A and B are shown apart, each in its own frame.
Chain A
Amino acid sequence: MTTDQAVDSVPSTISSYLETKAGGPVEHDADLAAAGVLTSMVAMEIVVFLESTFGISIVGRDLKLDNFRTVDSMAALVTRLRENRDNA
């Protein structure tokens, strides 16, 4: 996985990963906590996955569960952190 892939592929990369955890399709706006996918252990696995896949570090106030409730919210976080990194 490279970090210069098209921004559009971010949500689908995330949902493919989550499908292995959920054992089925994951809608981009589905609340993963309500669906029981976002357990305390899986939440941290997702953080590490996003960091290593997209070359970002999720720290400080960004490191909160609310950011990881849906594929869309994760994609927004990844996009923002990549922009911050690229503009730095």
Chain B
Amino acid sequence: MTRRITVLGAGVMGTGITTLALAHGIPVTLVDLETAVLDRARASVGRQLRHAQLLGAAPDVPPGELTTSTSAADCAGSIAVIEAISEHAEQKDKILREVSGIVDPGTVIVSNTSGIPIDELAASVERPDELVGIHFMNPPYLITMVEIARGPRTSDRTMESVRDLLNLVNRRGIAVRDAPGFVTSRLLHPMINNAARIVGEGVADAAEVDELMAGCLGHPTGPLRTADLIGLDNLADSLFALHERLGDPQFLPCEQLLDHVRAGRLGRKSGSGFYEYEEITR
């Protein structure tokens, strides 16, 4: 059997996860709703493969072959399916249901959700023991650590397959107990939300916030550059999903963040967010 994997969703993360797999010689079927999105993703993957090579982040192997499709049914025969569609529980439920009915038993189904509990998503699949969370970090082809979310029903066998899969792409994972936002989003998302709030209150501008967090606290880019990299729409969706599940008001996306989303300033992917970007940086 070839080691093909299927990635669902060709946005920021689906594209980056695809690049990671291809760079390690693994063929990928990448699925999204529209051909135009998939065409853009193919171009991004090409750029990202070069980016990985430039930074010495890709092994010296021929890249895997990329196939794109608008049908999730094309996941049949893959060794793993990685769901990276928008952070909306209903949409994830629908696609997980579809995929779960198609793949053979023993195929790991992975969700890259930022924070929806795996056990909640497990209600959508036929074999809850084969569902697991792998929270890849952005950009997945450069960041070597991932957060693994093991649901209460995720089996040992699935955890072994996860380890095999991560070995194939040379990633190290730390498994945590299933909980809204796991560890990283539970900590990062409210920090970004507060950073945006601080800008909204006029305490400091975005560049000053980031420079302070980088220069004083060793943050690699500052929270608002990170926000732009994540995508402000996804950030707002993830915060809403966390607020719904944790009840804590610090997770409610602040107006400053929502204003950007309403204006279509979604961060790097749209060319502007807390910062402006040139075409080539997307």
| Residues on A facing B (Cβ under 8 Å) | 39-41, 43-45, 47-49, 52, 59, 63-65, 68
Contacts and interface: CB of A to CB of B under 8 A. Distances in A.
A49 B278 CA distance: 10
Contacts of B280: 45, 48-49, 52
A42 to B, nearest CB: 9
18 contacts: A39-B221, A40-B51, A40-B55, A43-B51, A43-B55, A44-B50, A44-B51, A47-B50, A47-B54, A48-B280, A52-B280, A59-B50, A63-B50, A64-B53, A64-B54, A64-B56, A65-B54, A65-B56
B142 A63 contact: no
A47 B48 CA distance: 12
Nearest to B54: A63
Nearest to B55: A40
B245 interface: no
A18 to B, nearest CB: 14
Nearest to B142: A40
A22 B275 CA distance: 15
* Residue of B50, B53, B54 with most chain A CB atoms under a 10 A cut-off: B54
B210 to A, nearest CB: 12
Contacts of A48: 47, 280
A64 B55 CA distance: 6
A59 B55 CA distance: 13
B281 interface: yes
A44 B278 contact: no
A40 B56 CA distance: 11
Given A40-B142, A63-B50, A45 B281 contact: yes
Given A63-B53, A64-B56, A65-B54, A44 B47 contact: yes
A43 B50 CA distance: 11
Contacts of B221: 39
A43 B54 contact: yes
